[in-house]
Amino acid sequence: MPYFHSGAPGVYDESYSYADGVIGLKNTRQYNWSHSLSETMMALINAGLVIDSCMEHQEMDWEPLPGMIVDENGHYRLPDQWHDLVPLMFSIKAHKPE
């Protein structure tokens, strides 16, 4: 899936959900849209929110890609040769001004 928004969703079939890991979903078709960090940040700013913090993360609670490594805290991360190249996810804290 491309990093930058392409307009069309990524479409694929999976027999499980990343949210609970349960295998055997009845509806396996999934649609995902890419949204870059700047696109997400600008949507919040344009909605009138004030950004308090933005963090990039090198680990996740589920395995989004095959071949990931489980660290000592039970989180998934990229193998050593890729670990420091790209963030796997980000978190943003924002508030609506009074």
Six-digit token string for 30: 């999934």
pTM for the model = 0.70
CA distance 9 to 86: 22
CB-CB contact of 88 with 64 (8 Å): yes
- Domain spans in the chain, listed from the N-terminal domain onward: 1-34, 36-98
Per-residue pLDDT of the chain (98 residues; tens, 9 = 90+): 677 777 888 888 887 776 666 677 788 888 888 888 999 999 999 999 999 999 999 999 988 888 899 999 999 999 988 888 889 999 999 999 99
Cβ atoms 70, 59 nearer than 8 A = no
Sign of CA dihedral 93, 34, 8, 66: negative
Q: How far is CA 57 from CA 10, 23, 43, 83, in A?
A: 23, 27, 21, 11
Q: Which tokens go with 39?
A: 């696109």
